Amino acid sequence: MDLSLLGAAAAASALAEGRISSEELVAACLARVEADEERVRAWAFIDPEHALRQARFADSRRREGKALGPLHGLPVGVKDIIDTADMPTENGTVLHAGRAPSADAALVSMLRAAGAIIMGKTVTTELATYSPGKTRNPHNPEHTPGGSSSGSAAAVAARMVPLAIGTQTNGSVIRPAAYCGVVGYKPSFGLISRHWVLKQSRPLDQIGVIARSVEDAALLAEQLIGFDQNDPDTRALSRPLLRETAMREAPVPPTLAFVKTPMWKLADAQCQEAFAGLAARLGERVEEVKLPAVFKDAWKWHQTIMEADLARNYEPEYRRGRDQLSEALRGQIERGRRVRALEYNNALDRIPALNGTLNQLFERGYDAILTPATAGTAPRGLASTG
């Protein structure tokens, strides 16, 4: 059997029962990388021998009867804006070429503690913004894989790795996962530490996971949730049992709110027809709900916060190397430099108001919101991320 075909949960069970070794699993994934990387280009850095050394160490721990974590022996791709002490982290820009962090990001430390094998660093767009990297959509390399977590989504979809970490400030986990046909899960703000992850915008930056099933995504995300004193936005909460919840039968059929956001008109005809068909299939379990008018300006408020924070956090790169930044990123930074403090703070004040409105929606009895992740399937062309 080709072990690269195994999902993470199935592979974890096989590893725990001794039916396969981590070295065998990693070798199968590396064979998939060797066969398809030239076409997909998902990796910013991968050292096969280093990955295999980690796998052999994991296997030795199992043979010796040592305590094993829930991700023991599973290979994971890590987006190349997340620091790793044993691999470069270049943030998708020539300005950071050769950058070698001296410590792991908090989430990488948690991955290692759970037994994961850090397979390599996956391609990010330029400083996790809009200018694409080298990655292609594995289903059709003439189409974008999305961004900014391009390599993470493509690597999982191409079966080069069963699990990957991404980040999201503006749809950067959900969009590439959708375009590549895999599961993207962006947990609630403050659940996963961002310590030693490239900072774009403190109010908006979040960590997410990419997998090939909901169970696999839950298995990975569950290991990353926790309070970190180095990230003041994390919360001291008990770790939720995401995998157990994902696999449990719902006690009652869920009621879903089908939301056509203020951006619904941008969805293409195929997307709109697909969601209309899904809603019809769900029947009484779904009700169409219109968001209050306040949501029509949410995109502009988000842009105000993000671009002002980009201008602040990427000031060193802009000052010393603006000519080496893409036109798109220079434009974002320059717009952000013009944002007034009043505009920025007014936009920040909208966040709790919008969240409160969504809480009211759930209090009305809806268990989840159904809405498109993207305007349609991955568009043709590689000049943008869709």
Please give the positions annotated as active site.
79, 148, 172
Ramachandran angles phi, psi of 168, nearest 5°:
-140, 125
Looking at the DSSP bridge assignments, the partners of residue 154 are: none
CB 242 within 8 A of CB 204: no
CA distances from 149 to 128, 186, 203, 285, 291 (A): 8, 12, 19, 33, 29
- Is the bond preceding residue 148 a cis peptide, omega within 30 degrees? yes
CA distance linking residue 335 with residue 321, whole number of Å: 17
Looking at the DSSP bridge assignments, the partners of residue 207 are: 167
CB 300 within 8 A of CB 164: no
Count CB neighbours of 338 within 10 A: 10
**If we measure between CA atoms, which residue out of 232, 230, 244 comes closest to residue 107?**
230
CA distance linking residue 116 with residue 195, whole number of Å: 19
CB 235 within 8 A of CB 227: yes
Q: Are strands 75-79 and 117-122 parallel, antiparallel or unpaired?
A: parallel
**If we measure between CA atoms, which residue out of 350, 343, 216, 237 comes closest to residue 295?**
350
State both tokens at 176.
């590439």
Give the DSSP H or E segment for 166. strand 163-168
- For residue 164, the one-letter residue type is A
State both tokens at 252.
């009652």
